[in-house]
Chain A
Amino acid sequence: MKRIMIDYEKCDGCKNCSAACMQAHRETPGTIYDLDLTDPKNESRNFILKDAEGHYKPLFCRHCADPECVKSCMSGALRKDAESGHVFYDETRCGSCFMCVMNCPFGVLKPDQVTKSKVIKCDFCVNAGGEPSCVASCPKKAIYVEEV
């Protein structure tokens, strides 16, 4: 399985990964220049957290081997794809119970801001050929894809 590896010590907290993620998942066509950074519909699937000392800790979905989110999904919206190993989310099946949010031990998941009916979940940019936009956008090469 391909996973986004994290060299967190390299992270500068620029949030370019987040902007790239929003751009990759926006509903309207366009470029990074016109990505509406004030529209709450544009949400990133990755997050830069900070610990008490202020060190950046990038939070990217691990597409876990034994994914708690999938195990807690009561609608079948979250599934681990046997072929790629990635955990995919089918918005149309989702029952909006957010038990996945409660069960992801790393706190990667969150409900969508606007409708509170969907889960904001990394899809490994599968619609863009499976090359994660966040990885391509990282100026520090703090994230990279590796077969695990």
Chain B
Amino acid sequence: MKHVIIGAGVAGTEAAKTIRGLDENAGILLISADTQIHSRCMLHKFIGGERDEKSLNFTEDDFFEKYRVDWEKGVRVVEVCPGEKEIHLDTGEKVGYDRLLIANGADSCIPPVGDLRKASNVYGLRNLSDAQDIVKEAEEAENVLIIGSGLVGLDAAYGLLERGRRVTIVEMAPQILPVQLDAHGAQSYQELFEKAGVRFLLGRRASEAQCGEDGRIHEVVLDNGEKAACDMIVVAAGVRASTGYLEGSGIMCERGVCVDSYLQTNQPDIYAAGDITGLSGIWPNAADQGRVAGKNMCGLKTEYADRFAIKNTINFFGLLSLCVGRICEEEGDEIQVREDKEHYKRVILRDGKVEGILLQGDISHAGTWQYLIKNHIDIRGTGKDIFKINYADFYQVGDGGKYEWAI
């Protein structure tokens, strides 16, 4: 059985490991544009100079030998032919497969504003190559404009601050980290970034960005007419599933590659996992999808069940936050807030169940919240202050000393 995996992110590598675990004799070929296995969650550490390329690797050092995986790196797939059960590479090579996993992720989405898409000093931050380009450009650039203040935008800012750059961030929403945090929680990070020298332009969008004769953008005009001078631009305005090469293949795509609950596409023997499916954009879920797809590719029918994806941790300047579940208040919600000098906690309750939690300052032992939210567990029975609930309230030791849930 020959398994071909497109993409060397966590979905692809986890799938490869899973396949090897299930099938000693399988052929496994990993094909990626990336030439280095790297964790994109650590790209800011690369930009900041804290880590080199090698130390971004999230797999075992001997991953390819240990799991006997062949790797064609620096190569792009240009076409998938489900009928022929083969794929075409940009090298001209054609590779046959018995099972194919599409796990090549997503690309930065550059909005069609002015010359953003064509200027030579505009970067996304998605892959190691992006980070390498940013570092190179930042050697010369003094003023950096970042569009978007989500986790990627702030990652870029954090790394560039480490390099002593002057950073301005434009954000459409009236607060930073609008997806992850409420305004109050976001304020703490805003202050920390401002203290480090970042200027925020909130509630603003870029409306004009013209290239100069050198092909570079030197100034962005905002929707209020304000001008922001810049030597380079990092766009962190979201990602788009990287499905361009699948056009015409017969593989159905919408926001991403469409998959059933076994992560199979509409084409036989072709599966998809990770960001390219558009199911979620977070690491643990991409990894999980890789493992589920791997099992199904080996004939071990496994449903992708844990789809809970509204969860994030944030760590900037040593200020930690954890946000799981819903952050935005809706009608009928009960909101409880606890705040002190070093902590901010906010929980959204509905019918005795926790819909969402935000913890800032201390996230110790907070893993329990995800379980409670994801599984819609009624916490009224605990008889405790909501913020004091912990695993002790559901504590049960089962066979072999496993922890279980007494619900």
Contacts and interface: CB of A to CB of B under 8 A. Distances in A.
Interface residues of A, number: 46
Contacts of B392: 49-51, 55, 57, 59
Contact of B363 (A62, A64, A71, A98): A98
A76 B60 contact: yes
Contact of A110 (B313, B365, B400, B403): B365
B364 A75 contact: no
Interface string B357-394: 00000011111101100000000001110000011110
A101 B364 contact: yes
A71 B395 contact: no
A59 B396 CA distance: 11
A20 interface: no
Contact of A116 (B320, B383, B403): B320
Nearest to A147: B400
A88 interface: no
A8 B402 CA distance: 13
B395 to A, nearest CB: 4
A139 interface: no
Given A71-B288, A110-B365, A76 B57 contact: yes
Interface residues of B, number: 45
Interface stretch (B37-45, B272-280, B333-341): B37-45
Given A102-B370, A148-B400, A49 B284 contact: no
Contacts, number: 134
A105 B371 contact: yes
A47 B291 CA distance: 32
Contacts of A76: 39, 57-60
Contacts of A52: 382-384, 393
Interface of A: 3-6, 8, 47, 49-52, 55, 57, 59, 62, 64-65, 68, 71-76, 79, 93, 95-99, 101-111, 115-117, 146, 148
Given A52-B393, A101-B367, A109-B365, 4 more contacts: A62-B401, A98-B363, A102-B324, A117-B318
